[in-house]
Amino acid sequence: MDFRLTEEQEFFRSAVADTVDRLILPHVERIDQTDEIPPELWKEFTGLGYLGLRYPEELGGMNADPITCMLFYEELSRGSVGFAQAVIMNMLMGTHFLFRFGSPALRERCLLPAIRGEKIATMCFTEDQSGSDLAATRTVARKVDGGWRLTGTKNWITNGPSCDFATVLATTDASKGMKGLNFFLVEKGTSGFQPGQQLHKLGARGPACGELVLDDAFVPEENLLGAEEGKGVAYLGEILNEVRCMTGAMALGMARTAFADGLEYTRKRQAFGKAIGEYQLIRAKIADMATDMEAARLMVYWVAWMIGEGLNPRREAAMAKMYATEMCLKVVDEVTRIYGANGFASEYGPQRYFRDARFLLYGGGTHEIIKDFVGREIIRER
């Protein structure tokens, strides 16, 4: 067992960290306060080529392994969870099925510009009545001559109000439940496809988030993303482990920022004649946080390694996502406590960490769903 990163991975991490420090950190407060990503930041960052990290070099990508991708997600989230959210949607969920199943024309029109940062991608699962319960999806795809007509409303769509194209989950036969679900590519400018109400989030601010409305929107036959109708959920399984592992990596990055801030505060803050880091109870908090972060790191990168080996770590990915995000919540909570009343003030960072960390609870499955899945898998073992 060798837990060391390769020289290439270490170099990549260092390069991304420098980019985060130079480009993103100066904009963090602005992104949080305005709930917008500065266009000049998006242009400069996406011009560095990171959006193609997962994709082949012939498409302008880097063909990176899963561990390298997790390093990227972690460092990016160390800078800004909101900015990371927009970037990762473009380079993972919003483009994966287009890469897997898109025709050459669709790839040329949508995927390549998205890799270059010229187009914004998103993915649409959630509806008002269906989040983790995908079988309850009400967005309908009706077969017509030459393609499909989609009707329904998606909600909580990251990049939704500003997207140039969306991968939309819809049912072609509601009576089949999960076996009736399929993915469709819907492009901006399609008649009947438009943004709905925009949501204003507690944290993870920056990317536009809200509804996307499909009102008898026509898409051609080639926009059905999949080799076989009714396999949408099976195709989703291809990236679900990666999505959950990615969320865990984001939690690591977020926790690192909060921890570093809290640690520095323990060194500077004086109480009763000495730095508060000299008190045993504060040192105990630091020890607990550091230990929990290292445990989460081992889980996240172990899952990334398994994905890279071609394994299917469904249970382990669920565990890693759940543990790492709960760890992040614990760390940011302890940092607010270390700050005392200052942790409640908008002039200090802990209140933002506290808000941002909660966003990570929901993507890839709520923890109630994940715990039920993990427990069921363990009970069924023979």
Euclidean distance between CA atoms 63 and 68, whole angstroms: 10
Do 225 and 238 fall into the same domain? Answer: no
Task: Flag whether 128 is in a domain.
Answer: yes
pLDDT by residue (tens digit) across 195-216?
999 999 999 999 999 999 999 9
Residue 2 lies in a domain: no
CATH, residue 81:
1.10.540.10
The pLDDT, as a whole number, for residue 233 is 87
Tokens 């200090």 correspond to 348
Residues 160 and 32 in one domain: no
Residue 275's CATH number: 1.20.140.10
The pLDDT confidence band at residue 300, using thresholds 50, 70 and 90, is very high
> Which of the listed residues 93, 115, 137 is the one where a domain comes to its end?
115
Domain housing 163: 121-230
Are 357 and 253 members of one domain? yes
Both 129 and 252 in one domain: the answer is no
Does residue 249 sit within a domain? Answer: yes
Q: What's the pLDDT score for residue 35?
A: 95
Query: Is 78 domain-assigned?
Result: yes
Domain boundary among 88, 115, 142: 115
pTM: 0.96
The answer on 347 and 276 residing in a single domain is yes
Are 201 and 260 in a shared domain? no
Q: Per-residue pLDDT for 240 more than 90? A: yes
What's the domain count of the chain?
3
238 with 367, same domain: the answer is: yes
pLDDT tens digit sequence for 171-201: 999 899 999 999 999 999 999 999 999 999 9
| Cβ contact 48:60 at 8 Å | no
Same domain, 158 and 88: no
302 falls within a domain? yes
CA atoms within 13 A on the CB side of 287: 6
- Same domain for 265 and 332? yes
CB of 123 within 8 A of CB of 135?
no
45 and 144 share one domain = no
Q: Is residue 257 part of a domain?
A: yes
pLDDT digits (tens, 9 = 90+) for 259-277: 999 999 999 999 999 999 9
Region 298-326: mean pLDDT is: 97
Query: For residue 381, what pLDDT is reported?
Result: 84
Quote the pLDDT of residue 95.
Answer: 97
Residue written as token pair 């996502």: 321
Same domain for 59 and 23: yes
Question: Cβ neighbours of residue 325 under 8 Å, at least 6 residues apart?
Answer: 247, 248, 251, 357, 360, 361, 367
DSSP string across 308-366: HTT---HHHHHHHHHHHHHHHHHHHHHHHHHHGGGGGSTTSSHHHHHHHHHHTTTTTS-
Please identify, among 100, 115, 130, the residue that sits at the C-terminal boundary of a domain: 115
308 belongs to a structural domain? yes
Whether 137 is in a domain gets the answer yes
Per-residue pLDDT tens over the stretch 53-77 = 999 999 999 999 999 999 999 999 9
Whether residues 222 and 273 share a domain: the answer is no
Q: What is the pLDDT of residue 351?
A: 97
CATH of the domain at 176: 2.40.110.10
